A and B are shown apart, each in its own frame.
Chain A
Amino acid sequence: MGQVAIAFLVGGVICVIGQALLDFAKFTPAHVMSILVASGAILDGLGLYDPLIEFAGAGATVPITSFGHALYHGAWQEAEQNGVIGLIAGIFEVPSAGISAAIVFSFFASLIFKPRG
């Protein structure tokens, strides 16, 4: 239960940061998401995102920032194993489940659903 509450709080805070970027800085949603995902990669590179995940669980893995963290992780893991070329080779390894799921389900959704306006 405690972990759920922490996930709620941390996830909520990350979303508030996103909302502030929308309302105060007047970025579009696409810009805000790009900023957040890049931030996730940068924070992970600085070694700050993994401890956040340890602490907040889903509060850090569900927001889109986690996608940036996953991309960085994949690159770094592969490079540790196979040298610098691993950076490019490994990028999509960790977030692969998310990307594949999004593509496949979106495709089927386009077959099943009609837009409602």
Chain B
Amino acid sequence: MKAQHQCGRQTWKFLHDIRIQGSAVAVGPLEGEGPLAAEFDHIHPDMYAGQASWEKAERYMMYQAVQTAIKKSNLLESEIDIVLAGDLLNQTISSNFTASQLNIPLIGMFGACSTSMETLSVGAALIDAGYASYIIATCSSHNCTAEKQFRYPTEYGGQKPEYAQWTVTGAGAAVVGRGGAGPRITHATIGKVVDMGIKDPFDMGSAMAPAAVDTLSTHFRDTDRMPSDYDLIVTGDLGKVGYAILKDEMKDLAFEMTPVYNDCGLMIYSPDQQVFSGGSGCASSAVVTYSYIMNRLREGSIKRALVCATGALFSPVSYQQGESIPCIAHAVALEAVEEV
């Protein structure tokens, strides 16, 4: 029994003219030296962003991204009805403190590195259903806070394998509302948790790829579209290893991804930057989507994009206890449409 906005069990079709009103991004120094540097609103010259700790730096970047996105939307903070926010840290602490600085009701969400599209899709749904006029969706990650929480102290001399990934330092925010000339959010596919038994916390690409395969193939089936219907399809942070796995697994399902497929974790850094297998973290998909992809959609050089953010839903305790890594992926379809 399909509900009004459903096309398939997992895919939402937005019936109103839901658009990005403005988006903004703040990043750290490594990202600011990458190929997309010109697209970013704020680049910090060091990992502390002028703050006293890594944790304070992360929430400062999130706050910056939110404020700039609101400004670029030509709105006031008081006009935004809800902030949907998430990050990688325990209790999504960066989001909590950022929201405490805003005078906007908070819905905190955790999707690990899939949080960007998780918050964007739920935010769009709230507007489509008439529960909010404007929302802001935001997420952040920071290389040092993530290493400190999930892996090793940052000055530790442990040797990371080649297939490990580099948590992106940054935050992205997007204001969503009805009407305007911005990119339109047409569909969202909410992912199921997929756990294919990968246990190595340094091998997240392999762990997350099956979740992305599941969500993307479900999206295509629900919307009756093929990869070629999009100008660009990106995953959030599968990195070199996950990217290769996804391409082949999708091909086995008769979805040819190659001409349009890229991964945000590969786009954000140049090949000569020492980032192992590519970027990861909430900011990986957020930072690339809310700058580069939004700009190309506004220009019209990309007409239709599908952003599939991928998350590894593990904790520092779970992998120490020998558990595998359950993953999830959420996809949002964006379209460049003339103002209505």
**Contact residues in B for A29 (Cβ distance below 8 Å):** 158-159
A2 CB-CB contact with B under 8 Å? no
List B residues 292-338 near A (Cβ within 8 Å).
none
Asked if A115 and B143 sit within 8 Å, CB to CB, the answer is no
**Please, which residue of chain A has its CB at the minimum distance from the CB of B144?**
A117
Asked if B159 and A22 sit within 8 Å, CB to CB, the answer is yes
**Contact residues in A for B154 (Cβ distance below 8 Å):** 115-117
B224 CB-CB contact with A under 8 Å? no
Q: How large is the interface on B (under 10, 10 to 19, 20 to 34, 35 or more residues)?
A: under 10
Smallest beta-carbon distance B27→chain A, Å: 14
Majority secondary structure of chain A interface residues (helix, strand, loop or mixed): loop
Tell me which of A22, A28, A116 has the highest count of chain B C-beta atoms within 10 A of its own C-beta: A116
**Please, which residue of chain A has its CB at the minimum distance from the CB of B158?**
A29
Smallest beta-carbon distance B80→chain A, Å: 32
Asked if A115 and B158 sit within 8 Å, CB to CB, the answer is no
Complex Cα–Cα for A116 and B28 (A): 13
Smallest beta-carbon distance A22→chain B, Å: 7
**Please, which residue of chain A has its CB at the minimum distance from the CB of B52?**
A114
Complex Cα–Cα for A11 and B154 (A): 27
B153 CB-CB contact with A under 8 Å? yes
Asked if B155 and A116 sit within 8 Å, CB to CB, the answer is yes
Asked if B153 and A117 sit within 8 Å, CB to CB, the answer is no
**Contact residues in B for A116 (Cβ distance below 8 Å):** 47, 154-155
Tell me which of A28, A29, A115 has the highest count of chain B C-beta atoms within 10 A of its own C-beta: A115
Asked if A115 and B159 sit within 8 Å, CB to CB, the answer is no
B276 CB-CB contact with A under 8 Å? no
**Please, which residue of chain B has its CB at the minimum distance from the CB of A23?**
B161
B261 CB-CB contact with A under 8 Å? no
Smallest beta-carbon distance A107→chain B, Å: 15
**Contact residues in A for B153 (Cβ distance below 8 Å):** 115
Asked if A117 and B159 sit within 8 Å, CB to CB, the answer is no
**Please, which residue of chain B has its CB at the minimum distance from the CB of A22?**
B159
Complex Cα–Cα for A70 and B153 (A): 28
B40 CB-CB contact with A under 8 Å? no
**Contact residues in B for A22 (Cβ distance below 8 Å):** 159
Complex Cα–Cα for A14 and B54 (A): 37
**Please, which residue of chain A has its CB at the minimum distance from the CB of B145?**
A117
List B residues 133-177 near A (Cβ within 8 Å).
143-144, 153-155, 158-159
**Contact residues in B for A28 (Cβ distance below 8 Å):** 158
Asked if B47 and A117 sit within 8 Å, CB to CB, the answer is yes
Smallest beta-carbon distance B175→chain A, Å: 31
Complex Cα–Cα for A28 and B156 (A): 13
Smallest beta-carbon distance B67→chain A, Å: 25
Residue numbers of A with Cβ under 8 A of B are: 22, 28-29, 115-117
Q: List 8 A-B contacts (CB under 8 A).
A: A22-B159, A28-B158, A29-B159, A115-B144, A116-B47, A117-B47, A117-B144, A117-B154
- Nearest first, the 6 A-B pairs at minimum CB distance are A117-B47, A117-B144, A115-B154, A117-B154, A29-B158, A115-B155
**Other 9 A-B pairs with CB < 8 A, given A115-B154, A116-B155, A117-B143:** A22-B159, A28-B158, A29-B158, A29-B159, A115-B144, A115-B153, A115-B155, A117-B54, A117-B144
Residue numbers of B with Cβ under 8 A of A are: 47, 54, 143-144, 153-155, 158-159
